[in-house]
């Protein structure tokens, strides 16, 4: 092809630099066991991309099982170590909403993690996996009475209460079942964090939790019920957070309330939620978990010392950090279009009006899209892409990886460089698709949700099968009717 630039495209975002090698796999973004075979193919845990595509079709989510297991273990060990050093223990819950199947539930519990669920469906998956209900936490700002009843009756370890009304609902269910239900209370600390910044206000405008001002009243209500046992406060300040400043501010605020509430009885623990960020592109530089655990432990220790209170057990709920980097989505490339576009900001009226500049944006379309990864369309999330079936010596060309849905916002990767000889029939691989991709998948345009394939030690196996056309038609009550 003619389009072989050797300079960065004027359409490339500032954070994206022209790669020396558009075949290279940045270790921060790819699963731990990903690499290139001698023939240039992408290998994940010893299984070649073209073999995966042939056996399971595309799109397919490929999960590096040992990546998940090792991150789960390292996360638990990091929190164990740092909190042992300040004289307490840490409990780690895997936030199942990121990516949950019975297999994944078993991998993370085998690594010593508990699991958080936030609906009857997620609870059913965890129970089907054989997870001890005592190791489950139940979240949600609007749990149904049926969900509450099931949690209490199976013996879920903790229900996170999200409103005053829910205190009564859970207390009722517990007394009906003759149980004492352990509960946490979700507090809105007024800290909301995303990536590098956090916003701290007295009153945050959102649906989750109770404000710090109403906590004393709510905890008194909880303590007034014999069917409830108060475990402690809970807060979760956001997602894809880098660094520890947001957690520090939030922990300090919550510990203030925790200390005040100790006057009314014991409080065994404090739950600081999840939200730890991962690398989606080479430009992302998340803090390693060991460092995060150490910094947060140091803050908890110093705040407890300042308040002259015992250090509680501290719980965390990472989701993305455990599963996000483990998964690569493989697609087959179809239509490729070079679209001439006006470079943003060029040709604007001004003292020295310059002519509008144009550049080519290459749209590379694949056989999936926003139905298997909604995050770019939903949040403008950035991802990266590489060729999976081969490497190429051709120079880098800026591409936009698009899906096949009837929606112009159906983009998977807004900007990355691929070898300029990318062609129909090539396989594209998008890394870091383990969290909030399969779990957010839809059947938009009646695409079947892709299978989830686990790879380990050169072997591949389906852990969730893909949807067939029969699945797609199976719930349509009108099939077979008269026209």
- Residues in the annotated binding site: 275, 317-320, 375, 379, 407, 436
Helices marked H in 111-197 = 120-128, 145-154, 164-176
C-alpha pair distances (Å), 169 with each of 117, 137, 159, 355:
18, 17, 11, 66
Structure tokens at 420: 């300029």
Residue 305 backbone dihedrals phi, psi, to 5 degrees: -65, -45
CA-CA distance, 138 to 136, in Å (whole number)?
7
Q: What is the nearest approach in angstroms of ligand PLP to the Cβ of residue 344? A: 31
List the Cα angle 73/75/78 in 5-degree steps: 105
Q: What is the DSSP letter of 39?
A: T
- The answer to whether residues 398 and 9 touch, using CB atoms and an 8 Å cutoff, is yes
- Does 318 bind ligand PLP (CB under 6 A)? Our answer is yes
Shortest reach from residue 325's CB to ligand PLP, in Å: 12
Q: Does 317 bind ligand PLP (CB under 6 A)?
A: yes
259/440 with CB nearer ligand PLP: 440
| Residue 434 binds ligand PLP, judged by CB under 6 A | no
Among 95, 159, 254, 388, binds ligand PLP (CB under 6 A): 95
Q: Is 383 in the site for ligand PLP (CB under 6 A)?
A: no
Does the protein bind ligand PLP through residue 368 (CB under 6 A)? Answer: no
Our finding on whether 437 is near ligand PLP (CB under 6 A) is no
- Contact between 156 and ligand PLP by CB under 6 A: the answer reads no
Q: Does 448 bind ligand PLP (CB under 6 A)?
A: no
| C-beta of 244 vs 365, nearer to ligand PLP | 244
Is residue 71 within the footprint of ligand PLP (CB under 6 A)? no
Stretch that binds ligand PLP, among 14-22, 36-44, 91-99, 304-312 (CB under 6 A): 91-99
Closest CA to 454 of 466, 463, 445: 463
The reply on whether position 188 binds ligand PLP by CB under 6 A is no
Nearest distance in Å: CB 139, ligand PLP = 5
Binding residues for substrate: 320, 375, 379, 407, 436
* Residue pair 427/58 in contact by the 8 Å Cβ criterion: yes
The answer to whether 375 contacts ligand PLP (rule: CB under 6 A) is no
The residue from 23, 189, 227, 239 that contacts ligand PLP (CB under 6 A) is 239
Contacts 24+ apart (CB under 8 A), 459-465: 459/46, 459/47, 460/47, 460/51, 460/52, 460/55, 460/56, 460/62, 462/56, 463/63, 463/101, 463/103, 463/104, 464/101, 464/438
**261-290 positions binding ligand PLP, by CB under 6 A:** 273-276
Q: Quick check: 182 binds ligand PLP (CB under 6 A)?
A: no
Got the DSSP string for 274-328? --B---SSTT--PPPHHHHHHHHHHHHHHHHHHHT-PPPEEEE--SHHHHGGGEE
The answer, yes or no, to whether the previous bond of 138 is cis (omega within 30 of 0) is no
* 236 binds ligand PLP, rule: CB under 6 A: yes
437 is catalytic: no
Is-contact 279 29, C-beta < 8 A?
A: yes
Closest distance to ligand PLP from the beta carbon of 473 (Å): 33
Total number of residues binding ligand PLP (CB under 6 A)? 16
Residue count of the chain = 483
Least CB distance from residue 168 to ligand PLP, whole Å?
22
* Segment interacting with ligand PLP (CB under 6 A) among 90-98, 246-254, 307-315, 408-416: 90-98
Smallest separation, CB 150 to ligand PLP (Å): 19
Three-state SS letters, 372-435: CCCHHHHHCCCCCCEECCCCCCCCEEEEEEECCCCCCCCEEEEEEEEECCCCCCCEEEEECCCC
Residue 416 touches ligand PLP, criterion: CB under 6 A: no
Q: Taking the CB of residue 164, how many other CB atoms lie within 10 A of it?
A: 13
CA 108, 326, 124, 218 dihedral sign is: positive
| Residue numbering of the annotated binding site for pyridoxal 5'-phosphate | 275, 317-320, 436
- Residue placing its CB nearer to ligand PLP in the complex, 274 or 312: 274
Residue with CB nearest ligand PLP? 319
Q: Hey, which residues are catalytic here?
A: 406
List residues near ligand PLP by CB under 6 A: 95, 97-98, 139, 236, 239, 273-276, 317-321, 435
């Amino acid at each position: 092809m003619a389009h072989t630039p050797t300079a960065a495209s004027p359409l490339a975002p500032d954070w994206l630099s022209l790669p020396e090698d558009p075949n290279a796999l940045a270790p921060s973004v790819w699963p731990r066991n990903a690499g290139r075979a001698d023939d240039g193919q992408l290998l994940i845990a010893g299984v070649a991309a073209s073999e995966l595509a042939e056996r399971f079709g595309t799109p397919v989510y490929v999960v590096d099982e040992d990546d998940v297991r090792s991150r789960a273990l390292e996360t638990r060990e990091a929190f164990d170590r740092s909190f042992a050093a300040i004289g307490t223990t840490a409990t780690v819950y895997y936030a199942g909403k990121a990516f949950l199947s019975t297999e994944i539930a078993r991998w993370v519990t085998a690594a010593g993690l508990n699991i958080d669920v936030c609906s009857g469906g997620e609870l059913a998956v965890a129970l089907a996996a054989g997870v001890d209900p005592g190791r489950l936490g139940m979240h949600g700002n609007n749990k149904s009475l049926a969900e509450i009843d099931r949690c209490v009756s199976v013996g879920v370890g903790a229900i996170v209460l999200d409103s005053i009304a829910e205190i009564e609902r859970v207390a009722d269910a517990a007394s009906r079942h003759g149980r004492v239900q352990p509960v946490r209370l979700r507090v809105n600390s007024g800290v909301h964090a995303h990536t590098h910044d956090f916003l701290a206000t007295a009153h945050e405008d959102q649906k989750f939790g109770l404000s710090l001002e109403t906590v004393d009243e709510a905890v008194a209500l909880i303590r007034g019920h014999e069917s409830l046992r108060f475990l402690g406060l809970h807060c979760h300040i956001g997602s894809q957070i880098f660094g520890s400043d947001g957690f520090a501010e939030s922990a300090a605020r919550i510990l203030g309330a925790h200390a005040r509430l100790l006057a009314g009885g014991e409080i065994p623990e404090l739950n600081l939620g999840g939200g730890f960020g991962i690398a989606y592109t080479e430009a992302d530089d998340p803090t390693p978990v060991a460092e995060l655990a150490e910094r947060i432990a140091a803050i908890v220790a110093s705040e407890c010392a300042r308040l002259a209170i015992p250090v509680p057990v501290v719980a965390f709920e990472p989701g993305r950090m455990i599963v996000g980097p483990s998964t690569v989505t493989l697609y087959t490339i179809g239509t490729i279009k070079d679209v001439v576009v006006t470079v943003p900001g060029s040709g604007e009226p001004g003292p020295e009006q310059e002519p509008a500049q144009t550049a080519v944006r290459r749209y590379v379309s694949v056989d999936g899209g926003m139905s298997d990864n909604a995050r770019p369309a939903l949040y403008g999330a950035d991802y990266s892409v590489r060729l999976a079936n081969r490497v190429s010596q051709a120079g880098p060309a800026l591409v936009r990886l698009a899906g096949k849905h009837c929606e112009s916002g159906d983009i998977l990767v807004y900007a990355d460089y691929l070898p300029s000889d990318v062609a129909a029939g090539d396989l594209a691989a998008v890394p870091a698709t383990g969290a909030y991709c399969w779990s957010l998948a839809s059947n938009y345009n009646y695409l079947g949700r892709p299978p989830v394939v686990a790879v380990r030690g050169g072997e591949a196996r389906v852990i969730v099968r893909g949807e067939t056309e029969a699945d797609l038609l199976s719930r349509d009550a009108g099939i077979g009717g008269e026209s």
